[in-house]
Structure formats: C-alpha cells, structure tokens
Amino acid sequence: MMKINVTEANEKLGIAVPFEFVTTAGEISAVHEDYSFDGDITVRGECVATGRGYRISGRISCTKSFVCDRCLEQSAVQQVHDFDEAYQKRGSGYNEDNQDVNYFDGDQVDISQMIRDVLLSDQPLNNICNADCRGLCPKCGANLNHGDCGCDRTVIDPRLAALQQLLIKK
Ligand SMILES: [Zn+2]
Ligand SMILES: [Zn+2]
C-alpha cells in the first residue's frame, strides 16, 4: 500500500514533504499482456498542501521486461515516469466534480491506483529493445543485431516495380 498521510503537509502549508515507497507490479496490479515490470518499483516524490488541496508529484523508477517487437529477443529496459497530480479531501466544502482532481477521504491518500495508471499509460506504442534494433532478416530470420546473415535484402518499392514492368512491356 502506498498511502501518504497528509497531516505533516497540513502543518507545513506550501512546503514540500518528501515520500518514498518501494512496491512491486503484483502489489499494485500493474499487469499488461505485452510486458511486465520486474523487481522493485520505486516511487519518490513530494506532497504539498496548497490550502484547498494537495499537489502530489514525483517519479517512478522501474524495469520493464518484454519481447522486442523487431528482433523477438527477451529484453529489459530501465524506465522513469513522472507524475504530478492534484488531490482534494472530500467534504472540504469545495466543488467536488473537477475532472482533473483526485478525491480522497480521511487523512491518507492512497496513490497505488494512480501509480498503476501512470505506469501502464506512459508506455510507447512499440516494445523495442533499443532504438537501433535492426530486427530480423525477412529472408532467413536471423537476428541482425548479432551480425549480418549475408542475404540480399534489397527491397524494390512496389510502385517502382510496377513502373519497371510497364517499361519492360513497351
Ligand atoms: Zn530488438
Ligand atoms: Zn538473412
């Protein structure tokens, strides 16, 4: 559980109160079919009481494991994800239907769900082991990151190929 007690922040209005948690993907249900977060997920940040509510910001550090979309090798990358969220205590007398604000009860803010959402949404569309990944040879399937297989992989643009055909016919 990643719960921030706001009592200290309340006593130091406007001053950042640091927090740090170590969790795991299992603990916060950060599960996705295309990848996983292995080992510890570290969350460091600060909580500031703004008078009306709280600003909770920080950074998540994790290790993401996946099969590379290009070379199909099992890979792992270190990731950091920043977050910056507004929280407001329910029943504090202020408007409570702001879409950009997270609401909580009592003196504890449970950030588990928010951290999970940031981890799963702040991901690239593709899982690539390395920006320079050369992928697999379309002819023999060799992993080109391990060296060239020697195949002729010259690909002719299909539009040019059609034009070539036309020229040959004439
Ligand atoms: Zn790769
Ligand atoms: Zn090849």
Query: What pLDDT does 79 receive?
Result: 96
Q: Kindly report the pTM of this predicted structure.
A: 0.82
Q: Is the pLDDT of residue 170 over 70?
A: no
For residues 39 and 27, what is the distance between their CA atoms, to the nearest angstrom?
Answer: 11
Ligand nearest, relative to CA of residue 134: 1
Ligand nearest, relative to CA of residue 138: 2
> Which residue blocks in 31-157 are alpha helix, DSSP H?
112-121
What's the CA-to-centroid distance between 137 and ligand 2, angstroms? 5
What's the CA-to-centroid distance between 155 and ligand 2, angstroms? 13
User: Average pLDDT for residues 43-56, to the nearest whole number?
Assistant: 96
How high is the mean pLDDT of the chain? 92
What's the CA-to-centroid distance between 142 and ligand 2, angstroms? 5
Only one residue has tokens 């929280």, namely 87
How many residues are listed for the chain in this entry?
170
Spans of all domains in the chain: 3-133, 134-170
Query: What pLDDT does 88 receive?
Result: 95
User: Average pLDDT for residues 99-106, to the nearest whole number?
Assistant: 93
Q: Is the pLDDT of residue 165 over 80?
A: no
